[in-house]
């Protein structure tokens, strides 16, 4: 009887090991497919932003003789570059903290992960607050007042929407980590969140140049 129990235990352990290896293979295969799908999703966002960006460049270089344009005999003021630079540092800083959050999770350092994840979410929310402040104080007319205002609010608003969605995306991922959805070997959601956050950083580099430096 003891031999039978031993054999049953051996087969059970062997079966569990086989299931674990099978699950790992399935995870790796689906991870590659999900990563490809997510990168394609980001590619569609690149196309969306590119369409608006090229429209803005066309309006600025082909239609308006001076920029910012002249409205009712007065040239609109330039945007507050210094304030935008500070707000940009906040956003770019969140990209750095998100990178370290992912690295901490890979090394199973949950305390460090939670710290950097909290910083990332707070900095993302801080950037949105700065953008709202700028919207309230920008002396360039409303969205429908002129080409400059329409272009600025459309492009930065679209980017701000992505940041807003990203903040909630990261909050959802943070909740998932606390519930044991991911471990130090399987964490595709965190990888996707990091890619998305770096994407909004890169888009802001382009927008900052177009509206504040050019």
Q: Give the C-alpha separation, 73 to 71, whole Å.
A: 5
Whole-structure pTM value: 0.86
Q: Decide: residue 156, CB within 10 A, 0-12 exposed, 13-18 middle, 19+ buried.
A: buried
Average pLDDT over residues 189-203: 97
pLDDT tens per residue across span 93-143: 999 999 999 999 999 999 999 999 999 999 999 999 999 999 999 988 777
- In this prediction, residue 2 has a pLDDT band, given cuts at 50, 70 and 90, of very low
Domains recognised in the chain with CATH numbers: 37-213 (1.20.120.80)
Provide DSSP, 126-175: HHHHHHHHHHHH--S--TTT-HHHHHHHHHHHHHHHHHHHHHHHHHHHHH
pLDDT tens per residue across span 40-58: 999 999 999 999 999 999 9
């Amino acid at each position: 009887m003891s031999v039978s129990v031993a054999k049953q235990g051996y087969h059970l352990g062997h079966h569990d090991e086989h299931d674990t290896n099978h699950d790992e293979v399935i995870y790796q295969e689906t991870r590659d497919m999900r990563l490809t799908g997510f990168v394609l999703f980001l590619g569609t966002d690149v196309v969306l932003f590119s369409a608006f960006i090229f429209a803005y460049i066309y309006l600025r270089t082909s239609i308006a003789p001076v920029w910012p344009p002249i409205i009712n005999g007065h040239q609109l003021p330039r945007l507050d570059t210094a304030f935008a630079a500070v707000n940009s540092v906040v956003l770019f800083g969140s990209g750095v903290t998100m990178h370290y959050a992912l690295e901490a999770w890979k090394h199973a350092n949950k305390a460090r992960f939670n710290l950097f994840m909290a910083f990332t979410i707070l900095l993302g929310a801080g950037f949105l607050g700065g953008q709202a402040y700028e919207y309230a104080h920008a002396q360039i007319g409303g969205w429908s007042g002129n080409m400059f205002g329409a272009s600025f609010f459309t492009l930065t608003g679209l980017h701000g929407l992505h940041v807003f969605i990203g903040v909630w995306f990261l909050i959802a991922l943070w909740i998932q980590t606390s519930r044991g959805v991911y471990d130090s070997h399987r964490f595709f959601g965190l990888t996707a969140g990091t890619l998305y956050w770096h994407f909004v950083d890169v888009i802001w580099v382009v927008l900052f140049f177009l509206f504040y430096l050019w």
